[in-house]
A and B are shown apart, each in its own frame.
Chain A
């Protein structure tokens, strides 16, 4: 069975046939391989459909046998062509639209960076631009893999770059290298980088200079890199090969110490916040050279306090339009109890403090002191935090230290 779709593509003609012994025509058409369908008799007429390609042959048969043939309707794609010819502008516009859409979507318009913490986004974007990924770059000319590799070569701080181009958006995912701490090469001591009380000491190399419970201040040597061999015990024979001079080593180890931090935080007892009530008032006006016509909304704004959104257009002459939306606002007052305010201030202070803490500090204990009086509208607090952290940091041994 022929498909309706192919009939439509090729085009078909609805016909009306008049004459005697119409079956003969049907059989002749059949014998000559002319495909006909939807054959229906109505009185002396026979209605049928024939493909565009078989029409001439069918017409020849009917003329040969003296039948009357009438075209009722032409249908299908070839006949739409005439309609399309009349509406060439529409067709051209549609094609132009699709072409423009295709053209515009084959460029990268947005470049985004994600995954970076220390490396500035602008540096990554600049590097991507040098390697072909920038707003306005054509997608067909850029090679993703080449750009990724070039960016990795350019930015030594990165260990991985992936350019994911989705539509007009290029998302550059990066993973930064975790660089080892600035290393001290050669002999060194481990010194305290801040004040504290030593809680635990683990020496991997060198000699412990402090013990558990010792109070240290910034700069104190915790693990010494100057290694003095113990003198041989009296009475024992002296080994002539024994090293008697102090040797220098690269001290290594962990020194956990209790440290103290002090922070400050504050919170308001009464908080005023402007919120939208959800009520709206819209006004739309048309500007003509003669007068301004209110289309939607006239008169004064029915709100005491509001936020205004405006959009307007002015065309040639005095023509134009203006649109404004007014959103009602109200002031929401939230009253906090003293405890709530203190807690908020404490969180605030802790958050501030955490920013200033370097490395991995474990908070062991915290204590706070309220500075403000209960009648103040702002609660101010001071927070004291006790932390546990590794306070050791390597410091190269200077020449003067060796001589002493």
Chain B
């Protein structure tokens, strides 16, 4: 059921050329250099330490590895992470 709705939403978004992050609640990442990450549409924090961070998404989660990670700002659906970022991975 959910899968069907998602497919319809995606088709609508494609057809109407509406950004997917708005319609499908997909995460949107903005990375400046390797020290600053801005993430929209997150669903909370699963794990946080200075070297590894996992952020819940609408589907799956995002893993950020690095050094000296710090959450500079945290709001209900957006967050800004600073620190030396090594890798970003999507996981299910």
Question: In the complex, what distance in Å separates the CA atom of A37 from the CA atom of B76?
Answer: 12
Question: In the complex, what distance in Å separates the CA atom of A39 from the CA atom of B76?
Answer: 15
Partner of B44, one of A2, A27, A36, A40: A27
The answer to whether B45 touches A1, judged by C-beta atoms less than 8 angstroms apart, is no
Question: In the complex, what distance in Å separates the CA atom of A136 from the CA atom of B47?
Answer: 73
- Residue A22, interface by CB 8 Å: yes
| Contact A23 to B47, CB < 8 A, known contacts A1-B80, A33-B76, A35-B75 | yes
Chain B: minimal CB distance from A185 (Å): 92
Contacts of A39 in B (CB 8 A): 48, 70-72, 74
Q: Mark A1-29, 1 if CB is under 8 A from B, else 0.
A: 11000000000000000000011001100
Chain A: minimal CB distance from B60 (Å): 17
The answer to whether B49 touches A41, judged by C-beta atoms less than 8 angstroms apart, is yes
Partner of B72, one of A23, A26, A38: A38
The answer to whether B76 touches A38, judged by C-beta atoms less than 8 angstroms apart, is no
Closest to A28 in B: B44
- Residue B50, interface by CB 8 Å: yes
The answer to whether A1 touches B74, judged by C-beta atoms less than 8 angstroms apart, is no
- Residue B91, interface by CB 8 Å: no
Q: Mark B58-79, 1 if CB is under 8 A from A, else 0.
A: 0000000000001111111010
Q: Mark B17-61, 1 if CB is under 8 A from A, else 0.
A: 000000000000000000000000000111111100000000000
- Residue A30, interface by CB 8 Å: yes
Contacts of B49 in A (CB 8 A): 41
Contacts of B74 in A (CB 8 A): 26, 30, 35-37, 39
Closest to B75 in A: A35
Question: In the complex, what distance in Å separates the CA atom of A41 from the CA atom of B70?
Answer: 7
Question: In the complex, what distance in Å separates the CA atom of A39 from the CA atom of B48?
Answer: 10
Question: In the complex, what distance in Å separates the CA atom of A26 from the CA atom of B72?
Answer: 13
The answer to whether B76 touches A41, judged by C-beta atoms less than 8 angstroms apart, is no
Contacts of B45 in A (CB 8 A): 23, 26-27, 30
The answer to whether A23 touches B80, judged by C-beta atoms less than 8 angstroms apart, is no
Contacts of B78 in A (CB 8 A): 1
Chain B: minimal CB distance from A27 (Å): 4
Closest to B48 in A: A23
The answer to whether A26 touches B76, judged by C-beta atoms less than 8 angstroms apart, is no
Partner of A37, one of B44, B48, B50, B73: B73
The answer to whether B70 touches A38, judged by C-beta atoms less than 8 angstroms apart, is yes
Q: Mark A231-256, 1 if CB is under 8 A from B, else 0.
A: 00000000000000000000000000
Question: In the complex, what distance in Å separates the CA atom of A35 from the CA atom of B80?
Answer: 13
Question: In the complex, what distance in Å separates the CA atom of A186 from the CA atom of B48?
Answer: 111
The answer to whether A37 touches B72, judged by C-beta atoms less than 8 angstroms apart, is yes
Question: In the complex, what distance in Å separates the CA atom of A38 from the CA atom of B44?
Answer: 16
The answer to whether A30 touches B48, judged by C-beta atoms less than 8 angstroms apart, is no
Contacts of A37 in B (CB 8 A): 71-74
Question: In the complex, what distance in Å separates the CA atom of A38 from the CA atom of B78?
Answer: 14
Question: In the complex, what distance in Å separates the CA atom of A36 from the CA atom of B73?
Answer: 7
Question: In the complex, what distance in Å separates the CA atom of A30 from the CA atom of B71?
Answer: 13
The answer to whether B80 touches A26, judged by C-beta atoms less than 8 angstroms apart, is no
The answer to whether A30 touches B80, judged by C-beta atoms less than 8 angstroms apart, is no
Question: In the complex, what distance in Å separates the CA atom of A152 from the CA atom of B47?
Answer: 84
The answer to whether B48 touches A26, judged by C-beta atoms less than 8 angstroms apart, is yes
Closest to B71 in A: A39
Contacting B at CB under 8 A, from A107-158, are none
Question: In the complex, what distance in Å separates the CA atom of A38 from the CA atom of B46?
Answer: 18
Contacting B at CB under 8 A, from A282-305, are none
Partner of A22, one of B44, B48, B70, B80: B48
| Contact A41 to B48, CB < 8 A, known contacts A2-B73, A30-B74, A36-B74 | yes
Contacts of A35 in B (CB 8 A): 74-75
Mind listing 14 A-B residue pairs with CB under 8 Å?
A23-B48, A26-B44, A26-B48, A26-B74, A30-B74, A31-B44, A35-B74, A35-B75, A36-B74, A37-B72, A37-B73, A38-B72, A39-B48, A39-B72
A contact set with B: CB distance below 8 Å: 1-2, 22-23, 26-27, 30-31, 33, 35-42
19 new A-B contacts at CB < 8 Å, known A33-B76, A35-B75: A1-B73, A1-B80, A23-B45, A23-B48, A26-B44, A27-B45, A30-B44, A30-B45, A30-B74, A30-B76, A31-B44, A37-B72, A37-B73, A38-B70, A39-B71, A39-B72, A39-B74, A40-B70, A41-B50
